[in-house]
Amino acid sequence: SAIARSNASSSARIPCRNYSVDSGPERKVAVLGAAGGIGQPLALLMKMNPLVSKLALYDIAGTPGVAADVSHINTRSEVAGYAGEDQLGKALEGSDVVIIPAGVPRKPGMTRDDLFNINAGIVKSLCTAIAKYCPNALVNMISNPVNSTVPIAAEVFKKAGTYDEKRLFGVTTLDVVRAKTFYAGKANLNVAEVNVPVVGGHAGITILPLFSQATPKANFSDEDIKALTKRTQDGGTEVVEAKAGKGSATLSMAYAGALFADACLKGLNGVPDVVECSYVQSAVTELPFFASKVRLGKNGVDEVLELGPLSDYEKENLKALKPELEASIEKGIKFASQS
């Protein structure tokens, strides 16, 4: 029975909370910004993940309530809430994966880059703490503008002497989730069977879905592909406008964030052939950071996969996105080196 198994697996350190012995090694996941619009449903989804044995929920305020609530769910992980900067170290200590959805979201009329001034500082201070308390954790960066916050994180880790490019990820999974949904909807395919790689970055035209590589194949006109590409690029704005000032995507983002963290955990646990798109340090193009398919392994990034064959339309878009992505990367690096 579950209870017998739980007793058999319990240790002195974690009495009777370790419900499953079938879920692999102990893994601690920390969510920074856990009381927010993304953070709360993400905490719920991570609590439902049997690969997690400890779930640390951190925010500047509000986490004790979220943690108490989520902790009553009868799944494997032991949940703890941490509020305020003096508890950040405890939240991070021993983490295998740190997910960061901390910071302000967009309002109508804003680009992701408009968030830079506030979120860059938040990301910098959180990453400084990660370097100190869990330098080996895989970092899943959700805070926007991802195109700049990932380079900021890299610079902070470099300064601290802890940077490992295999362990830093910009979460672009929501772009893939949207591309799959929109493609399957338009082609009338079973969305569960659909795959669409999305490369580049995570803002406007830097989001480049590769519908020429989508499976199963659908017979779309050039106009259809253009419309699907634009809808994928503007998916976030669609939600921002519909929420009319109350923020950006939170539920679909929590789903996407949970999916990506799960892939990271599977990779750490040695599951073979775990491949997801992510914005990482990359030699796939001349830009130092770029999103593409990544094979996840026991140390994080196992392999950054090549882009594969592109259509003429995708080649054009790739060329067009590079100057914007490059500027966003430089902006992040400059911020980190100046402050």
Residues tagged active-site: 202
Angle (deg, nearest 10), helices 116-133 and 146-160: 40
Nearest to 36 by CA among 211, 229, 249: 249
Is 307 a binding residue for ligand NAI by CB under 6 A? The answer is: no
Is 36 a binding residue for ligand NAI by CB under 6 A? The answer is: yes
Segment interacting with ligand NAI, rule: CB under 6 A, options 34-42, 68-76, 298-306, 322-330: 34-42
- Shortest distance in whole angstroms from residue 256 CB to ligand NAI: 7
For ligand NAI, give the closer residue by CB, 34 or 194: 34
Q: Looking only at Cα atoms, what is the longest distance across the chain?
A: 62
Using CA atoms, how far residue 111 sits from 145, 148, 171, 319, in Å, is: 9, 13, 17, 21
79 neighbors 102 (Cβ within 8 angstroms): no
For ligand NAI, give the closer residue by CB, 203 or 333: 203
Report how far residue 159's alpha carbon sits from residue 149's, in angstroms, rounded to the nearest whole number: 15
- 281: helix, coil or strand? strand
Using CA atoms, how far residue 317 sits from 48, 219, 230, 253, 282, in Å, is: 38, 21, 11, 25, 19
Is 119 a binding residue for ligand NAI by CB under 6 A? The answer is: yes
Is 328 a binding residue for ligand NAI by CB under 6 A? The answer is: no
Is 197 a binding residue for ligand NAI by CB under 6 A? The answer is: no
Is 297 a binding residue for ligand NAI by CB under 6 A? The answer is: no
Alpha carbons within 13 A on the beta-carbon side of 242: 9
For ligand NAI, give the closer residue by CB, 187 or 261: 261
Is 281 a binding residue for ligand NAI by CB under 6 A? The answer is: no
Segment interacting with ligand NAI, rule: CB under 6 A, options 76-84, 120-128, 181-189, 328-336: 120-128
- Shortest distance in whole angstroms from residue 125 CB to ligand NAI: 6
For ligand NAI, give the closer residue by CB, 50 or 64: 64
